[in-house]
Structure 1
Amino acid sequence: MRIAQVAPLFEAVPPKLYGGTERVVSWLTEELVRQGHEVTLFASGDSKTSARLIPCAPQALRLAGVKDTLAPHVFMVERVLRMASEFDVIHFHIDYLHLPLMRRTKISYLTTLHGRLDLPEMFPFYKEFREAPFVSISNAQRRPLPFLNWIGTVYHGLPADLYRPVYEPGKYLAFLGRISPEKRPDRAIELAERVGIKLLIAAKVDKADEEYFKEVIKPRLKSPWVEFIGEITEKEKQEFLGEALALLMLIDWPEPFGLVMIEANACGTPVIAWRCGSVPEIIEDGRNGFIVESMEEAERAVEGLSGLSRRECRRVFEEHFTAERMAREYLALYESLRMREVPLWRKAA
């Protein structure tokens, strides 16, 4: 099958540092190529892929310090449409920018929505484009917009050999990702202090969250139970997650998926997660981690970690969250779009 993957330009594919969506696009693209499909990737020029790369910006916009990020994305959509006849299906990962144009074509396409959908301004916008074919990354993600034309839910997956499972007990609690109010690193710090176990924080601080970091988190880094490492690379994740006693995911927002949870499980590391968003779809309470709803429950979860099997954590990953499974499910959706007698676009009134 001739498939186009259209990635955000904020990070390279795969990203050099933080970048969940771009990382998933990379894993999907490489697996589709491995399975013998003809894949074209629209992404930043510093991306690395075995697919055909169509560079739509010289390098990742975040690292290049580009101020107007909209213009490069509009340019990319134009390039995709110019080349549309070369593809059997176009898979967009750029939210909604392409929707007004795609509804006026007969091109087979779908859009995976990677972010939160509960912001008030999204409701009228997506109601206008409710006929477009969308894919969710969890069933929880759909709840704010149940009226959309959801053609499937495909959980993220990563290569089975990307991380090596570590079955020896871990040494510390881990927080990995982004410093922001909704990620609740303050809860992770509080839990570490309650149970008296070292917490390592490997996270980036976006400009939008600098004030939160400075006023709320930085003063608490003086705790003897906390060590702030900063943003880490993909290669550094193996050691960071593999040697952790547990990953803390004590979030306070409707997490659409939470890629770090399956990365931890791939390393054999259990997850202690707050019951929010997609968490109950990823974590089987008592099998690959614990789901909690209070700090007291989180404390008991830490105490119960010795009763969890790190081999079982890895087994859950292998059963449900590999790139091979993700690609297989997307291919089924691609085929279903190609087989439709009536394309999914909105006819002019």
Structure 2
Amino acid sequence: MKIALVAPAFGQTGGPEVMVKTLAESLTKKGVDITVFAPADWKTTAKHMHSIPQSLWNMTGFKDQTMTLRRNFQMASQTTVLKFQDTFDLIHLNVPSFAAAAIAGAKIPVLLSAHSRIPKDEFLQLKKLGAHIVALSHAQAKKLPYDSVIWNGLNVSEIQPSFEPGKYLVTIGRLTDQKGIHSAINIAKKARVPLIIIGRVGNGADRQVYFKEQIKPYIDGDMVRHLDTIPHEEIFSYLRSAKALLFPIVRAETFGLVVAEALACGTPVIGTRVDPLPELLTDSSISFLSDDLDELANVAAHTERFDRQTCRRYAEEHFSTERMADEYIALYKDLLK
């Protein structure tokens, strides 16, 4: 079977982008004939066809692009595959935005992995067009009639862990209220442990205001530090040396790949009891979940309660790319019967 795997348009460092790259390379190793349709500046060992000339975040003048121009690039990133669909058996999309255009123009089966929340009306439209939609967690699948559930996976064997106690707390993700970055700051301050924040501020007015009012005033270069977008290998380095990952999300997410990445590094997770975290984290020796910030701060101050070697084993058993790839291969075969 020949699979066209379509990547997001923005870059290579976000959760969906990392998953697409990881899945493509794992499928290639398993002998699947896979081609990634991704921006021209993507780096991957899988076969690669260019969907757009460059990742949006890397384009000169990105901040000055009109919304129409940016949407045109996004549309192209999703629909370029249609020009070549006669040479494939199945199209695997990974971005709900503009997926309808690709699905409507497809003459072969289309699978969509829902890496972000899909509003009900849009979801039903995609289903009516014939897409097979995959949820990334059972918690996500409770909301709407998804067709399958497949957890994301990592190249755990390629991630070096550390079983040393750690020096600081770290929180990673887009700097939005959804990620609970403000709560992470409060937790770290209550625990009296340094915090490193890793994530993009973003260009939107709401994100600029959030950063200016709820994050920037607390950044002192000592107890609270902020790093913008950094290479993924550096993210693993910061995770390895952390006492714990703080992940106090405010609203439900589809998966939360950084949780799996932290555990692969041997680093425990401290977060809220917001979906899908209770589904993903079921061992008290690797994680602690609560909606009480004082409880979270108390645990953040005493991370010796966790077992870092168990964190690593948990990642190997639950979040391997081999498991994810095998589940997608089985699904591809089922859809092509």
- Superposition TM-score, scaled by structure 2 size: 0.91
Deviation of 1:126 after TM superposition, in Å, equals 2.1
C-alpha distance in structure 1 between counterparts of 2:195 and 2:102, whole Å: 48
- Map of 2:26 onto structure 1: 31
- Map of 1:70 onto structure 2: 71
- Map of 2:121 onto structure 1: 124
Letter of the 1:36 partner, please give it. G
Q: CA 1:104–1:189 in structure 2 vs 1: closer, same or farther (change >3 Å)?
A: closer
Letter of the 1:312 partner, please give it. T
Secondary structure class of the residue paired with 2:199? strand
1:37-52 equivalences in 2 (<5 Å): 37-52=32-47
Letter of the 2:9 partner, please give it. L
C-alpha distance in structure 1 between counterparts of 2:10 and 2:221, whole Å: 34
C-alpha distance in structure 2 between counterparts of 1:73 and 1:191, whole Å: 37
C-alpha distance in structure 2 between counterparts of 1:223 and 1:54, whole Å: 42
Q: CA 1:78–1:114 in structure 2 vs 1: closer, same or farther (change >3 Å)?
A: closer
C-alpha distance in structure 1 between counterparts of 2:75 and 2:241, whole Å: 43
Secondary structure class of the residue paired with 1:192? helix
Matched, 1:157 2:153: yes
Matched, 1:198 2:194: yes
- Map of 2:88 onto structure 1: 87
Residues 159-187 of structure 1 show CA distances to partners (whole Å, capped at 9, x for unaligned) of 12331110111111111122111111111
- Map of 1:347 onto structure 2: none
C-alpha distance in structure 2 between counterparts of 1:332 and 1:202, whole Å: 36
Secondary structure class of the residue paired with 2:263? helix
Deviation of 1:22 after TM superposition, in Å, equals 0.9
Q: CA 1:298–1:285 in structure 2 vs 1: closer, same or farther (change >3 Å)?
A: farther
C-alpha distance in structure 2 between counterparts of 1:77 and 1:232, whole Å: 26
- Map of 1:143 onto structure 2: 142
- Map of 1:230 onto structure 2: 228
- Map of 2:52 onto structure 1: 57
Secondary structure class of the residue paired with 2:81? helix
Q: CA 1:105–1:9 in structure 2 vs 1: closer, same or farther (change >3 Å)?
A: closer
- Map of 1:5 onto structure 2: 5
Deviation of 1:219 after TM superposition, in Å, equals 0.9
Deviation of 1:134 after TM superposition, in Å, equals 0.3
Structure 1 gaps, min length 5: 340-349
- Map of 1:317 onto structure 2: 315
**Which structure carries more helix by proportion?**
2
- Map of 2:284 onto structure 1: 286
Deviation of 1:285 after TM superposition, in Å, equals 4.2
- Map of 2:237 onto structure 1: 239
Deviation of 1:231 after TM superposition, in Å, equals 2.7
1:103-114 equivalences in 2 (<5 Å): 103=104, 105-114=106-115
Letter of the 1:141 partner, please give it. Q
Q: CA 1:223–1:90 in structure 2 vs 1: closer, same or farther (change >3 Å)?
A: closer
C-alpha distance in structure 1 between counterparts of 2:102 and 2:38, whole Å: 19
Letter of the 1:213 partner, please give it. F
Residues 60-79 of structure 1 show CA distances to partners (whole Å, capped at 9, x for unaligned) of 01220154222123334443
Question: How many aligned positions are there?
Answer: 327
Secondary structure class of the residue paired with 1:161? helix
Letter of the 1:7 partner, please give it. A
Q: CA RMSD in A?
A: 1.8
- Superposition TM-score, scaled by structure 1 size: 0.88
C-alpha distance in structure 2 between counterparts of 1:41 and 1:334, whole Å: 16
Deviation of 1:234 after TM superposition, in Å, equals 1.1
Q: CA 1:168–1:220 in structure 2 vs 1: closer, same or farther (change >3 Å)?
A: same
Letter of the 1:238 partner, please give it. F
Letter of the 2:201 partner, please give it. V
Secondary structure class of the residue paired with 2:91? strand
Asked if the contact 1:157/1:322 (under 8 Å) is kept, the reply is: yes
C-alpha distance in structure 2 between counterparts of 1:106 and 1:175, whole Å: 43
C-alpha distance in structure 1 between counterparts of 2:211 and 2:244, whole Å: 23
Asked if the contact 1:241/1:269 (under 8 Å) is kept, the reply is: yes
- Map of 2:247 onto structure 1: 249
C-alpha distance in structure 1 between counterparts of 2:53 and 2:152, whole Å: 27
C-alpha distance in structure 2 between counterparts of 1:106 and 1:237, whole Å: 40
Q: CA 1:220–1:54 in structure 2 vs 1: closer, same or farther (change >3 Å)?
A: same
Q: Which moved more, 1:85-94 or 1:268-277?
A: 85-94
Residues 329-349 of structure 1 show CA distances to partners (whole Å, capped at 9, x for unaligned) of 11111011011xxxxxxxxxx
Asked if the contact 1:5/1:90 (under 8 Å) is kept, the reply is: yes
- Map of 1:263 onto structure 2: 261
Q: CA 1:143–1:169 in structure 2 vs 1: closer, same or farther (change >3 Å)?
A: same
